[in-house]
Structure 1
């Protein structure tokens, strides 16, 4: 669902900014939204001390949460309310405190009410840290309410 004549990239930005403002988990991650467009989102976060596991490296669950969050931004970016139905992640290397991670989600295939996404998490040098493959389904309706028509 598009909202009138609003540019699709501007609409996607507005949706993601609304999600970011409303989602309490997003505040915990302290992520920065870098780019967003229809079927696409990119964000960055810094690995803090409270992200570390008992091995002194970033907990995989937080890398997963970061990738899943960016996936959520991408799958809602067209203003069609969507949720994830499955995710698979592969961790490629450990991540230390202080590292800056970037996650980029891209829609690779859409079908009916569903879509498939690839999410790549990289470090500050652009080296891959984790790869996620995810599936979403539209739940019906729009994420943002439709703008009222002028009288």
Structure 2
């Protein structure tokens, strides 16, 4: 089957996300959900649970980072090239609280050769609580093998 010819870029992104999600025990184990996947973009959510709150009574920054990082990962893997984070920087703007539904939105800023840059905004309702800038690097391999085979044949 010629997958690349039959899938739009957004459909291919969704197929990549489905394949990646099956292997992503970390995101699943933290209760994350994928809300939207498009080529170069991802939106994910996670609710702050009691085990995610620190000694200040606010969401531990590590959990906020995990959500942003997972969302970044789904965005940078949406082109059917396996990619990993090379570097990430996060700025915490406001605290998250127990019970907050965090929403992370990642968008591709640039992608050239093996490198990509992505911005991720984490919000509660419409209020930004963190911003992450992630740099990705492709490592070889594809999430949807038939599409990779079609791309090599061209």
TM-score with structure 1 setting the length? 0.91
The 5 Å alignment of 1:21-60 reads: 21-60=22-61
Supply the RMSD in Å over aligned alpha carbons. 1.6
In 2, the alpha carbon distance for the partners of 1:137 and 1:95 equals 30
Structure 1 residue runs without a partner (length 5+): none
Question: How many angstroms does 1:128 deviate by?
Answer: 0.3
Question: How many angstroms does 1:84 deviate by?
Answer: 0.7
Residue of structure 1 equivalent to 2:93: 92
Instruction: Extract structure 1 runs of 4+ deviating beyond 2 A.
Output: 2-5
In 2, the alpha carbon distance for the partners of 1:22 and 1:140 equals 17
Classify the secondary structure of the residue corresponding to 1:4: helix
In 1, the alpha carbon distance for the partners of 2:51 and 2:29 equals 10
In 2, the alpha carbon distance for the partners of 1:93 and 1:55 equals 13
Question: How many angstroms does 1:21 deviate by?
Answer: 2.2
Residue of structure 2 equivalent to 1:132: 132
Question: How many angstroms does 1:33 deviate by?
Answer: 1.0
Number of corresponding residues: 147
Question: How many angstroms does 1:66 deviate by?
Answer: 0.5
In 2, the alpha carbon distance for the partners of 1:104 and 1:117 equals 10
Classify the secondary structure of the residue corresponding to 1:44: strand
Structure 2 residue runs without a partner (length 5+): none
Q: Deviations over 1:103-144 (max 9, x none)?
A: 0110101121101000000002x1000000010011112122
